[in-house]
Amino acid sequence: MPTHTVLVTGGAGYIGSHACVELLNAGFKVIVVDNLSNSKSESLSRVQQLTGKTLSFYEADIRDKTALTQIFANEKPTTVIHFAGLKAVGESCAQPHLYYHNNVFGTLVLTEVMQEHNVKQLVFSSSATVYGVTELTQYHEELPLGAINPYGRSKAMVEDILRDLAEADIKNKCEYPWKIALLRYFNPIGAHESGLIGEDPNGIPNNLMPYVAQVAIGKLPQLSVFGDDYPTPDGTGIRDYIHVIDLVRGHIKAIDAFNTEKFSDGNCKAYNLGAGRGYSVLEIVNAFENVTGKKINYKISPRREGDLAEYFANPELALKELNWKVEKTLHDMVADTWNWQSKNPQGYK
Ligand code: NAD
Ligand code: WQD
């Protein structure tokens, strides 16, 4: 089998670095393009250390067409996994222009360069935030979309753009049509079991798991549990947490699927990547206490604006068409988070 070269945008980041490990272990050649706006190149040194394999790294912005064109000409990738993007919901409300420029315009530049080099296999990091508010708690791919913040809308806009690209090729019976997987992640947590790579948020974490981990290590004094009066069994919010290693394996399954009948005439398909079950905030806190033996200091605080009580994935389509499902348990997610946090109390610094 010829070696496939996968270009990974945002490969130095949390999910991207774990994807690089799985790609290298699966025998792919890996090229990373990252502007390091939310990551450190140390993550990539660790990826190479733990796989014993090398990758190529370009510090570049995906909006820089000249740089991207040069990279495509040099490296001749066959497939792109597109993680590069900004992801903080609150920041996106404060700075919408930044989010649309980075996430939407960045993807336009990337796909333009891909098209010019006839590289038309793309796996895109979408998000469960593209779904609209609904009575249902379990989301399947056919539900109407209706993101409620600029970050989510930037993902939904990119999905629309990518669907249009694929559609145009199908209509034109293009010889090398776009093959695009839109992977809608639920709540990625955890870290590589080695503890060498993991999530290293800038400043105070927005998300539950890194927050809990920093309380456990003593970097933060107390967790605020945002609301205990939701219509859930213990009153706290329920989410579908997914181990980052399970998540990145879904990307390799998507690349495999590009060679199947589903994508043979070109296609753009969305898949939920989630476990299909949820845990509440207090279940996460309890699991963390059980695994680490540490008491998590928390207080009940008011609800956080924009939060829903409960949602989780219907992951059946990914099982049927990508032959993918989660393998890891809540214990794995918590133990691997703690292994990373305790070995790297200051992250990559
Ligand atoms: P991350 O911030 O750790 O990684 C994103 C990487 O992209 C960073 O290394 C950053 O430096 C880089 N980047 C950002 N803009 C860039 C640009 N213009 N040019 C080049 N590099 C750029 O985030 P993550 O958690 O690894 O998320 C990866 C992707 O998955 C993002 O697109 C995010 O929106 C999406 N996603 C994440 C989650 C989550 O909870 N972590 C959930 C759903 C979707
Ligand atoms: C999980 C639960 C909070 C922090 C976000 C983005 C989403 C996706 C994943 C990118 C909720 C509660 C949290 C805290 C708490 N990212 N919580 N105290 O909000 O489900 O999803 O990350 O695509 O777009 O919106 O994840 O980890 O912030 O919250 O009680 O300090 O934990 O209320 O119930 P969320 P989260």
| Tens-digit pLDDT string for the chain (349 aa) | 557 999 999 999 999 999 999 999 999 999 999 999 999 999 999 999 999 999 999 999 999 999 999 999 999 999 999 999 999 999 999 999 999 999 999 999 999 999 999 999 999 999 999 998 888 999 999 999 999 999 999 999 999 999 999 999 999 999 999 999 999 999 999 999 999 999 999 999 999 999 999 999 999 999 999 999 999 999 999 999 999 999 999 999 999 999 999 999 989 999 999 999 999 999 999 999 999 999 999 999 999 999 999 999 999 999 999 999 999 999 999 999 999 999 999 999 8
User: Cβ neighbours of residue 131 under 8 Å, at least 6 residues apart?
Assistant: 139, 143, 144, 145, 146, 147, 184, 311
Spatial separation of the C-alpha atoms in residues 155 and 152, rounded to whole Å: 5
260: DSSP letter: S
Number of domains into which the chain is organized: 1
Q: Is residue 323 in a domain?
A: no
Q: Is residue 105 in a domain?
A: yes
Q: Is residue 346 in a domain?
A: no
Q: 153 is in which domain, residue-wise? A: 5-189+242-274+311-316
Say which amino acid occupies 342: S
Helix intervals (H) in the chain: 14-25, 42-51, 65-75, 89-94, 96-99, 106-116, 150-171, 208-216, 244-257, 281-292, 316-322, 330-343
Q: What are residue 155's phi and psi, to 5 degrees?
A: -70, -40
| Residue closest by Cα to atom 6 of ligand 1 | 10
Q: Which atom of ligand 2 is nearest to the CA of 155?
A: 23
Annotation says 151 is catalytic = yes
On whether the CB atoms of residues 279 and 243 are closer than 8 A, the answer is no
Q: Is residue 283 in a domain?
A: no
pLDDT digits (tens, 9 = 90+) for 243-261: 999 999 999 999 999 999 9
Catalytic residue among 14, 99, 139, 151: 151
Q: Is residue 174 in a domain?
A: yes
State the distance from the centre of ligand 1 to the C-alpha of 238, rounded, in angstroms.
23
* Ligand 1 touching residue 84 (CB < 6 A): yes
Kindly report the CATH number assigned to the domain that includes residue 258: 3.40.50.720
Q: Is residue 294 in a domain?
A: no
Q: Is residue 248 in a domain?
A: yes
* Ligand 1 touching residue 15 (CB < 6 A): yes
In this prediction, residue 305 carries a pLDDT of 92
The bound ligand whose nearest atom lies closest to the alpha carbon of 87 is 1
On whether the CB atoms of residues 345 and 217 are closer than 8 A, the answer is yes
Spatial separation of the C-alpha atoms in residues 57 and 54, rounded to whole Å: 10
Q: Is residue 62 in a domain?
A: yes
Q: Is the pTM of this model over 0.95?
A: yes
